[in-house]
Structure 1
Amino acid sequence: MTDGDRADAEDRDADRKSNDGQRFDRLPATEAERTVEGRASRREVLEYVDDRFGIPPETFDDYTFWEKGAGKIWIYAGEASSPLEIEAIGMTCLRTRQEHWKPTTDFVQRFGRHAQTCVIELDPEAARRFVAGEDQELEWDGDWGYLVVGHELAGDLEPIGVGMYVHGELRSMMPKGRQRKL
């Protein structure tokens, strides 16, 4: 190996120990395997969705988790080499580098039907208001924080999106571009 090859290898190794907004890095399996300070591990992600929403970890057996930038976690159905310098892989699922981890609307709409806890079911009028992006006062005896918000459709609970419940108020986290007046 030449001195130039060694320097290139050292640069690549240093790059893997930092976040890069242009690169996807697969989450380490455990905290012990973490090379980037603050990066979530696969185990932490699975524990979060299990503890918060009661979604069993085995739901994600066929998925890999990736970070692009600082704290934007993506989920991908399959395998890929790491790192990847592409625009997108799978879909965003969590924002982790903030005080409270926040699931994305896409993640809740795709996996929320597996949730057993922190799920709130809205009646038709409340669901319309939620989709329109309106906050609303309502009583709920569950945990405060981010919730899976759903509505009954054809006999099943269909996840609509992410809500934030605090002080008797359900705040709609529906992205502006997806809000609809129904």
Structure 2
Amino acid sequence: MSGGDGGGTDDDGNVGQRFDRLPETAADREVEGRATREAVVGWWVERFDLDPERFAGHTFWEKGSGKIWAFAGEIDSPAEVEGLGMTFLRTRQEHWKPTTDAVQRFGRGATKNVVVLDDEDARAFLRGEDTEPEWDGDWGYLIAAHRIAGAIEPIGVGLYIYDELRSQMPKGRQRDL
């Protein structure tokens, strides 16, 4: 059967309804194109300047083609379960995309590619609306954050292109505050 989400095996060796642990390095890879733990953690470190120790104690798993999950613990691989930890990152596309859950859980302390939104833009972002915040950094996926009680808190993922921050807030989590 073809297709990563249909329960069968893709041409690349993925089984759509099974979690397979990411290999530590490319040398350990058995499935062509599968991300490695080293690459996943390295991407977060490079993109957001996060300390790699933030990911200590977490294992990373692929379910389907490029859907990466983070799990705080160890289990045997493969695992045929419905969910394992939290959705974390989408790979196997031109630009890797972090999830809202991952940004909220791991994004504190990021010092790069974080756009801090004012009250008005933060409210619009949470409603799922696009904004035009002042930003002179990289284009691509950013951590959208807001100052809350004196601290910078990640609120979600934004896609910044053409001087516009496109909210990636999932529809079920959008709020009108």
Q: TM-score, normalised by structure 2?
A: 0.92
Aligned partner of 2:149: which letter? A
State, as a whole percentage, how many aligned pairs show the same letter: 64
The alpha carbon displacement at 1:138 in A equals 2.8
Answer with 1 or 2: which has the greater Rg. Answer: 1
CA distance in structure 2 between the partners assigned to 1:110 and 1:138 by the alignment: 23
SS of corresponding position for 1:39? coil
Distance 2:33 2:129 in 1: 34
The residue number in structure 1 matching 2:24 is 29
In the alignment, structure 1 residue 153 sits paired with structure 2 residue 148: yes
- Counterpart in 1 of 2:48? 53
In the alignment, which residue of structure 2 is the partner of 1:88?
A: 83
Q: Residue type of the partner of 2:162?
A: H
Q: How does 1:131-142 map to 2 (within 5 A)?
A: 131-142=126-137
SS at match of 1:88: coil
Report whether the alignment pairs 1:128 with 2:123.
yes
What SS is found at the alignment partner of 2:120? helix
SS of the residue aligned with 2:45?
helix
Q: How does 1:1-182 map to 2 (within 5 A)?
A: 18-182=13-177
- 1:142-179 superposed Cα distances (whole Å, 9 cap, x missing partner): 11100000111111011110001111101000011111
Query: Gaps spanning 5+ residues in structure 2: where?
Result: 1-8
Distance in 2 (CA, whole Å) between partners of 1:144 and 1:29 is 29
Q: Deviations over 1:17-71 (max 9, x none)?
A: 7101110000000001111111000000011000001111111111100000100
Q: Specify every segment of 5 or more residues in structure 1 that has no aligned partner in the other structure, as ranges.
A: 1-13
**Taking structure 1 as the reference length, what is the TM-score of the superposition?**
0.89
CA RMSD across the alignment? 1.3
| Amino acid aligned to 1:155 | G
Equivalent-residue separation in structure 2 for 1:128 and 1:77 (angstroms): 31
Higher helix share: 1
How many residues are treated as equivalent by the alignment? Answer: 168
Instruction: Please list every run of at least 4 consecutive aligned residues from structure 1 whose deviation after the TM superposition is greater than 4 angstroms.
Output: none
Q: In the alignment, is the contact (CA less than 8 A) between 2:117 and 2:133 conserved in 1? A: no
CA distance in 1, matches of 2:114, 2:144: 6
- Partners of 1:138 and 1:29 in 2: how far apart? 38
